[in-house]
A and B are shown apart, each in its own frame.
Chain A
């Protein structure tokens, strides 16, 4: 109990996999291999919440579509304040993805992601960063389209700064964080800061597009 987020002595990230397809859970577990410590699984909202409450994992791989109210419901009901959620889905419907992010997930990757990429994403989420797949970056750009002004203040929740926009565009083009940093002549740390800022705006903004997406899913 002294160190609830890492396994006893292993130092590996403790992960819970939540997905209603048993075959997929097995597949993800195999792909993750020894890189992380899979401490539990959940197949629907109830079992997921129970497992998360018991295990207090560092990261939960969360399916967007889940019997019992979807992945969002797990985030809402689980009593694990330090646990971070990474949405993992085969559904690319914008409203579901945005809804899960607004529900509290710190990133979104598609199920076709390769093993090493997934491990990297888990570590990134565990260390407090945001994880944007190209598709999520595309959704973000769509949602925040239009009203950008060069002079706009970074603190405005309803728009992206010019820099954040550039970062998002590069992510959407398939650039890795490192490559984004190199392309924009900034440090990886700065890229990460921009990403977190975009994630925060995504979660807190009351932009019409976002609230519409969310209200379609009754997530407000």
Chain B
């Protein structure tokens, strides 16, 4: 009763309580990295700031004294979340982890030493207790079942961890149980299930006859089936939600990975530029290539896939830029699917680009591609030295063979206009076929 005034006091007297920094709760987790069974002891030790060996010893001692340690361990394993949450490290490191590009923590036998010793100690204690008190009918089955359950739970942790890094974005029931499906996972599940069945069997054998074993197993199966029917739809719907959420997360991660990859290549480029700062041509080429990648990722969302004509043209433009150190300004108007027939046109364009890069003497080439319902036209233009088309010797294969003849062979037309001192323009024209026109949306 006398407490009442003091209880009211904070509200009236200290209104600035909410103004302070919010207290964040430290949550205990179970540790999936440093663990012997479920990582509960390691997680608890980290949370309580105690040596992990003490905590483990305490569990073993408690387990030996009537099994309280086992119950505590199991309870904590169930309620403590895993520490495998959404990673919050540097984006590049996270991405590298997801791609498996980073060294993993290596487990050595030495790390397991104290754990093995504790385990042996616990087992010895168990035997002593049993020796003194005599084995009850439920003791061995219970022990076997406990090990079986521990194995299954361990696998559940493992599978959960695998799901965080699942990149397919779909829920796979097999994957839910077995994780990535390594032999250890399968072994854990099979051994766990067998041990539980064995425990039931041993229990039943001690209690009665063989026929009881069957009836107990049967009733267990029926019970399981009933449970599945009752909560099945609910789990199914939950799985649907989870799938959608995971798909979104996978997309986000993919984007983040792509970004990390790009930034990584920017870093490499910057390093290269520093080392080659005296080679201005190389620096310009590096910068250009990097700029193209970044721009494509940041703004265009255009693929360089060669399944459309514009995509194929972008690809060869990038290739010529990289190999010959020129800027290629590509403008595409309209687009159409890239068919085998268009390959000649793309190759002729590449040849024209390479010619311009080699002979024009300027660092810049303009390419204009226009797809109309009746034809495709390509213009490759430079403002370089130019030449007199009549002067070109017949053996200059580049222009004659690769461009003009190639276009002729494929039912197209190539025209080369050049004025010495003003530059060169190659015009390619390929009529479209009826089927191609229909394809064009």
A residues adjacent to B (C-beta < 8 A): 90-93, 96, 112, 134-135, 137-138, 141-142, 145, 169, 172-175
Given contacts A112-B291, A172-B333, 4 further A-B contacts (CB under 8 A): A112-B327, A134-B366, A145-B334, A172-B331
A96 and B295 alpha carbons, distance in the complex (Å): 14
Q: Chain A residues with Cβ under 8 A from B299's Cβ?
A: 90-93, 96
Q: Is B178 an interface residue (CB 8 A)?
A: no
Q: Could you tell me if B298 and A138 are in contact, using CB atoms closer than 8 angstroms? A: no
Q: Is B322 an interface residue (CB 8 A)?
A: no
A141 and B335 alpha carbons, distance in the complex (Å): 12
Q: Could you tell me if A92 and B300 are in contact, using CB atoms closer than 8 angstroms? A: yes
Q: Is B332 an interface residue (CB 8 A)?
A: yes
B residues adjacent to A (C-beta < 8 A): 291, 295, 298-300, 327, 329, 331-334, 366, 368, 370, 379, 381, 425
- For the complex formed, measure the closest distance between the CB of A99 and the CB atoms of chain B, giving whole angstroms: 13
- For the complex formed, measure the closest distance between the CB of B238 and the CB atoms of chain A, giving whole angstroms: 36
Option from B291, B327, B331 in Cβ contact (under 8 Å) with A137? B331
| Shortest Cβ distance from A111 into B: residue | B291
Option from B295, B327, B332, B370 in Cβ contact (under 8 Å) with A90? B295
- For the complex formed, measure the closest distance between the CB of B70 and the CB atoms of chain A, giving whole angstroms: 59
Q: Could you tell me if B332 and A138 are in contact, using CB atoms closer than 8 angstroms? A: yes
Q: Could you tell me if A142 and B334 are in contact, using CB atoms closer than 8 angstroms? A: yes
Give the number of residue pairs across the A-B interface with Cβ within 8 Å: 48
| A-B contacts, 19 listed (Cβ < 8 Å) | A90-B295, A91-B295, A96-B299, A112-B291, A112-B327, A134-B329, A134-B331, A134-B368, A137-B331, A138-B331, A138-B332, A138-B368, A142-B333, A169-B368, A169-B370, A172-B368, A173-B331, A174-B379, A174-B381
Per CB-CB distance, the 4 closest pairs between chain A and chain B, nearest first, are: A174-B366, A138-B331, A173-B368, A91-B299
- For the complex formed, measure the closest distance between the CB of A175 and the CB atoms of chain B, giving whole angstroms: 8
Q: Could you tell me if A145 and B333 are in contact, using CB atoms closer than 8 angstroms? A: yes
Q: Could you tell me if B329 and A174 are in contact, using CB atoms closer than 8 angstroms? A: yes
- For the complex formed, measure the closest distance between the CB of A133 and the CB atoms of chain B, giving whole angstroms: 9
A135 and B331 alpha carbons, distance in the complex (Å): 6
Q: Chain B residues with Cβ under 8 A from A169's Cβ?
A: 368, 370
- For the complex formed, measure the closest distance between the CB of B373 and the CB atoms of chain A, giving whole angstroms: 9
- Known: A93-B300, A112-B327. Contact between A173 and B379, CB under 8 A? yes
A216 and B401 alpha carbons, distance in the complex (Å): 47
- For the complex formed, measure the closest distance between the CB of B236 and the CB atoms of chain A, giving whole angstroms: 38
Q: Chain A residues with Cβ under 8 A from B334's Cβ?
A: 142, 145
Q: Could you tell me if B370 and A141 are in contact, using CB atoms closer than 8 angstroms? A: yes
- For the complex formed, measure the closest distance between the CB of A172 and the CB atoms of chain B, giving whole angstroms: 5
Option from A96, A141, A174 in Cβ contact (under 8 Å) with B333? A141
Q: Chain B residues with Cβ under 8 A from A138's Cβ?
A: 331-333, 368
Q: Chain A residues with Cβ under 8 A from B327's Cβ?
A: 112
| Shortest Cβ distance from A137 into B: residue | B331
A134 and B366 alpha carbons, distance in the complex (Å): 9
Could you say which of A92, A134, A145, A174 has the most chain B C-beta atoms within 10 Å of its C-beta?
Answer: A174
| Shortest Cβ distance from A110 into B: residue | B329
Q: Chain B residues with Cβ under 8 A from A174's Cβ?
A: 329, 366, 368, 379, 381
Q: Chain A residues with Cβ under 8 A from B295's Cβ?
A: 90-92
- Known: A90-B295, A92-B299, A93-B300. Contact between A173 and B333, CB under 8 A? no
A31 and B189 alpha carbons, distance in the complex (Å): 69
A169 and B291 alpha carbons, distance in the complex (Å): 26
Q: Chain A residues with Cβ under 8 A from B370's Cβ?
A: 141, 169, 172
Q: Chain B residues with Cβ under 8 A from A142's Cβ?
A: 333-334
A137 and B389 alpha carbons, distance in the complex (Å): 29
A7 and B206 alpha carbons, distance in the complex (Å): 105
A174 and B380 alpha carbons, distance in the complex (Å): 9
| Shortest Cβ distance from A136 into B: residue | B331
| Shortest Cβ distance from A65 into B: residue | B299
A90 and B291 alpha carbons, distance in the complex (Å): 9
Q: Chain B residues with Cβ under 8 A from A112's Cβ?
A: 291, 327
A134 and B330 alpha carbons, distance in the complex (Å): 9
A96 and B425 alpha carbons, distance in the complex (Å): 31
| Shortest Cβ distance from A91 into B: residue | B299
- For the complex formed, measure the closest distance between the CB of B242 and the CB atoms of chain A, giving whole angstroms: 32
- For the complex formed, measure the closest distance between the CB of B80 and the CB atoms of chain A, giving whole angstroms: 43
Q: Chain A residues with Cβ under 8 A from B298's Cβ?
A: 91
- For the complex formed, measure the closest distance between the CB of A23 and the CB atoms of chain B, giving whole angstroms: 14
A112 and B334 alpha carbons, distance in the complex (Å): 24
A96 and B301 alpha carbons, distance in the complex (Å): 14
Option from B291, B300, B332, B381 in Cβ contact (under 8 Å) with A173? B381
Q: Chain B residues with Cβ under 8 A from A173's Cβ?
A: 331, 366, 368, 379, 381, 425
Q: Chain B residues with Cβ under 8 A from A137's Cβ?
A: 331
Q: Chain A residues with Cβ under 8 A from B379's Cβ?
A: 173-174
